[in-house]
Amino acid sequence: MDTIKLKRGQKLCTYCNTINGVRSFNCKSCNSPFTMKKKRKNTPALNAARINRNLIVDYTTLSKGDKIKVLKGSGPYYIAESGEKQYLGNKGIFVVDSLLSNGIMAVSKYGSIEFLYMGQEEKSNVLDNIIRSPYKIALISKGE
């Protein structure tokens, strides 16, 4: 039995031995279907579901050294003339340094100390379009 050397971007039909394009679903001569690989599940959606399970409701339960993730779409925001919200706050992974009466002092991965507001939503004293809103945070791991 002779084996056919396929070039890059080609696949062989198992029924009629016709060379087809690698992205074709059916053979161009006998129209038999090719078996296709299954697509991977969307991992970012799985990660989001995992984070939502660890969502922190009461930030005072945190302690120094806890690793938290600040979720996108939370924290202080600016309301543009079009009505669109533009978030001004930080997002990403932080390590809790200390807890204050209205927020968290945390260290970012770059080593800077950030204040994460956790109080009630209120308008800014400086501008009416800026809203001071609490961050949504999720616990990644407990500190020592």
Percent of the chain with pLDDT over 70: 88
pLDDT for 41: 62
pTM: 0.62
**Which residue type does 103 have?**
G
Evaluate if residue 30 carries a pLDDT over 70.
yes
**Cα distances (Å, whole numbers) of residue 53 to 56, 83, 86, 138:** 9, 31, 26, 8
Please report the pLDDT score of residue 45 as a whole number: 57
Closest CA to 143 of 70, 61, 72, 46: 61
Res 96: pLDDT:
93
Angstrom CA distances, 51 to 45, 69, 94, stand at 10, 8, 14
Q: Write the pLDDT tens digit of every residue in 119-140.
A: 899 998 888 889 999 999 998 8
Residue 144 gets which letter from DSSP?
A: -
Contacts of 120 (CB under 8 A, 6+ apart): 134
Per-residue pLDDT tens over the stretch 56-77: 888 899 999 999 999 888 889 9
What is the C-alpha separation between 61 and 137, in angstroms, rounded? Answer: 12
